[in-house]
Amino acid sequence: MAEQWATFIPSVSGLIGVLAGIFVGRWQVTHQARVEHGQWLRGQRQEAHLALLDAWVTCVKEFREMVDRNQVQVEHHLAETHSGNGWQESEDRIWEQTEAIAEPVRNALERVGLLGPKSVDAACTQLRAALNGLTQATRLEAGDPRWPKLTACEAAWDRADAARLVFLTACRKATWTAPNPSRQRG
């Protein structure tokens, strides 16, 4: 009987060692996958944040240029000299131009929204609202000789600047926070 125990104990010890090795190996692979995914996601977020900031700066600049005095004079001249309903054509041009200016920012906002985190998503909500404000302010009085309504545009630019600062702060916090695989679940 002692001989059987002498064979049984090392066999059980070997089996426990094999099972522990499998468990530890799986844990290491899972941990490494989480680390690599976290690094990939962090890089994707940084790229998306920078692309959104670039699109945002371009968008605000184009909205400002659109209501620049020289551009307004050109638009009024086109509306007044157009045969037919020139002011309706002017309104259509303004609406199309504001839509074209806003589209790249909307696309960049969607990309950032896909990547998170929640704090950046909340900041994107403010950017989205500011973008809508810029678009609406620029369209006020479109198709009318009183276009543009500069007080509304200036207020929209102020809200856009404030939303950009909120977004920058959220991005900075998300970027400066080191990834921690132990916090990740899944």
Residue 3, both tokens: 């001989």
Class of domain 45-177: mainly alpha
Residue 12, both tokens: 């059980």
* Nearest CA among 127, 115, 112, 135 for reference residue 166: 127
SS3 116: coil
Q: pLDDT tens digit string along 104-157? A: 999 999 999 988 889 899 999 999 999 999 999 999 998 888 889 999 999 999
At 69, the amino acid letter reads R
Residue 45, both tokens: 């977020």
Using the predicted structure, report yes or no on whether residue 11 has a pLDDT greater than 90: no
Residue 128, both tokens: 């989205």
Q: Which residue has the tokens 């001989």?
A: 3
Q: Is 55 exposed, middle or buried (0-12, 13-18, 19+ CB in 10 A)?
A: buried
Q: Write down the pLDDT at residue 20.
A: 73
At 109, the amino acid letter reads L
Q: Write down the pLDDT at residue 181.
A: 58
State yes or no: cis peptide before 145, omega within 30 of 0.
Answer: no
Q: Which residue has the tokens 């060692």?
A: 17
Q: pLDDT tens digit string along 39-88? A: 888 889 999 999 999 999 999 999 999 999 988 898 888 888 877 788 89
Largest CA distance in the chain: 112
Return the higher-pLDDT residue of 7 and 186.
7
